[in-house]
Amino acid sequence: MALVDTKKMFEMAYKNGYAVGAFNVNNMEITQGIISAIAEEKAPLILQISRGAREYASMSYLRAIIDVAVEENPDIPIAMHLDHGDTYETCKQCVDDGFTSVMIDGSHHSFEENIKITKQVVEYAHAHKVVVEAELGQLGGIEEDVVGVDDVAAHLTDPDQAVEFIERTGVDSLAVAIGTSHGAYKFKTEPKLAIDVIEKIQKLMPGYPLVMHGSSSVLKEFKDLINKYGGQMPDAMGVPEDAITEAVKMAICKVNIDTDLRMALTAKIRQVFAEKPGEFDPRKYLGPGREAIKAMVKHKLHVLNCAGKAAECL
């Protein structure tokens, strides 16, 4: 089947208490690891492409890899999503390039400017049958060109503003700031997510899909492997998985995961290089890295409760 948008995915996720995993892709091995896990677990999938990924691999290569994944998995609904589009022009280009979903991130602008740019993107995207995600409130941490705030608790999404924002822009889903943070060094102590923000928006806008950014868990097994084989990530800390599971039972219908992919790949490559210092065949270290990604993604699909849900999202 062809690429799909996220409308049916979010409808079913909201109704049945799960979230769809949105995984960032940068090359073939990462994509293959994700797809292998998805195919075995029969889960819906959102493949995200950031500006950094487009600059690294070029859109033509990434699109070709995704097209193969779609062709080889006709029973799996797959959406292609722009992650953190920063301008109207970027979002427009991605709509024209065949993305089925785009995100316009105007969260660093004023409320009124965020509404203005989001509405502009929505009008163009909807005219081309593409759905739009926006963001209100600000996260912490750093992810590529996205630099967050230092005090995430002071920049949570205001539920009343969220309602106004959604009604004035017509945006299809909203990324909310509930205390999460980008990157591997999210927190100094285990965070407590602002679940009450989700509850309030859900009460005000029943049925409306919300999105969690900055939701990698910085899994201990990969942090330990990286540090064991020469890395220096002693203070890396992510979002507890039980908190994510709690959130997806509510209005959270999409959870973004990027850092955990990078850590799985890096940990396994470091291990291969340490155990086989003479190895120079990329297939011999990228292959194990791909398998580590597959295992991690399979685990995440159960955290999100979306394993086995592919058929209902078609």
* Catalytically annotated residues: 83
Q: What angle do CA 158, 184, 182 make, to 5 degrees?
A: 25
Q: Where are the alpha helices (DSSP H) in 73-219?
A: 88-96, 111-127, 159-169, 195-204
* N-to-C CA span, the chain: 10
The answer to whether 209 and 251 are in contact (CB under 8 A) is yes
The answer to whether residues 301 and 21 touch, using CB atoms and an 8 Å cutoff, is: yes
Pairing of strands 140-143, 181-182: parallel
Among 124, 63, 65, 140, residue whose Cα is nearest residue 90: 124
Q: Are 17 and 249 in contact (CB under 8 A)?
A: yes
**Residue 79 dihedral angles phi and psi, to the nearest 5°:** -105, 145
Residue with tokens 């999938």: 45
